[in-house]
Amino acid sequence: MLAYSAQPNAYFNQRAAEIARIYDGFFFTIGSWDQGVAANLGLGPDAPPSTDWRRRAGENLSNLVKAGVTENLLGVYFGESDPWPSPETLLSADYTKKLARHFSAIGKAAKALGFRGVSIDVEYPYPRYSLDHKVYTYQGYTAQDLLAATAEQGRAVMSALLGEFHDAVVFVLPGEMWNRPISRAFQMAMLRVMAEKDAPGGFHLECGGEPPHSSGSIGTTA
């Protein structure tokens, strides 16, 4: 059983053995794939992190793994009010390169810190996953152009992630995948890349909930 979600804290260092009797791992969330990654993980020597999240998470992971809490995931999300997806972001080669750069940093950090894999929450921008959303005017492009560009970006994301962490377990919170063409194109492209690369971690769809008899709001996935 994995608990969603967690932030680095002293309790994990002090009580790792007790935690191991309850949980197999945690979703350590860092925020969005864009700003959260830049702030908490950094994007290389020229763009170091601006917080100590990475150091504190590393301490937690070391103690948790030693105690047997080994199934921890590094979590990121696509922001509800961020510009992606939109014609300007989907049809931009520079934006595709940006996605690849950030997900490369995610994979590299997840492997270095000792995570089992990565959790990618793609459900938040769900209104813009529909092709009839007002952001799409179809002036100078078609629906097929959008879907092809979306698939290219899904491939870029997964290729960059697996390029740094081939064995990563990849969880996705998919939302209404089959009713949202852009969401479907993005995630199916990710899945195809994982299959083509014969990545052993697998592509897993998350489903959140609460433990029985719980008065709290901790989400779990089994």
pLDDT in tens, 107-160: 999 999 999 999 999 999 999 999 999 999 999 999 999 999 999 999 999 999
Whether residue 168 contacts residue 111, with contact meaning beta carbons closer than 8 Å, is answered with yes
pLDDT at 216 over 70: no
Q: How far is CA 169 from CA 115, 149, 165, 182, 186, in A?
A: 9, 25, 9, 23, 18
pLDDT tens figures, 50-86: 999 999 999 999 999 999 999 999 999 999 999 999 9
**Per-residue pLDDT at 95:** 98
Q: Report the pLDDT averaged over residues 7-15.
A: 97
Strand partners, 220: 3
Check: CB of residue 29 under 8 Å from CB of residue 76: yes
Bond before 183 cis per omega within 30 degrees = no
Give every CB contact of residue 163 below 8 A, 6+ residues apart in sequence.
104, 107
Mean pLDDT of the chain: 92
More reliable by pLDDT, 169 or 214: 169
